[in-house]
Amino acid sequence: MNHKELIGAVAARLDMPEDYVSRLLEVAVDTMSAQLCEGNQVGVQGFGTLEVRRKEERISVNPATQVRTLVPPKLVVNFKQSNVLKDKLKGLPHE
């Protein structure tokens, strides 16, 4: 599902105009991004928790050339699913 499809699906479920839902989603994403940039966790009940974690510096090896490269430290967003989401996924068929 892409951004436009998400807006359409939410708008249909709430019986609201797509432009209103688009703005609402934009504000929600901006708010969550701002909180993550401040170092705060963002939890969505029934979905999961997002938090920023630091990945330490490491050495990577190119398997084709065996050349070693230093990968600098970086910040990444980590997602931990809620138990509600985990239980819903358990019922899905495996491919």
pLDDT at res. 94: 79
pLDDT at res. 93: 86
Task: Kindly list the strands in the beta sheet with 48-55, ordered across the sheet, starting from the edge strand earlier in the chain.
Answer: 42-44, 48-55, 74-81
**Residue 51 contacts residue 77 (beta carbons within 8 Å):** yes
- The reply to whether the predicted model has a pTM over 0.75 is yes
49 lies in the same domain as 89: yes
pLDDT at res. 12: 97
Q: What is the DSSP string of 65-93?
A: T--EEEEPPEEEEEEEE-HHHHHHHHTSP
26 lies in the same domain as 56: no
Range of the domain at 30: 1-40
Residues 11-24 have pLDDT tens digits of: 999 999 999 999 99
In this predicted structure, the answer to whether residue 56 has a pLDDT above a threshold of 90 is yes
82 lies in the same domain as 53: yes
**Residue 17 contacts residue 8 (beta carbons within 8 Å):** no
87 lies in the same domain as 50: yes
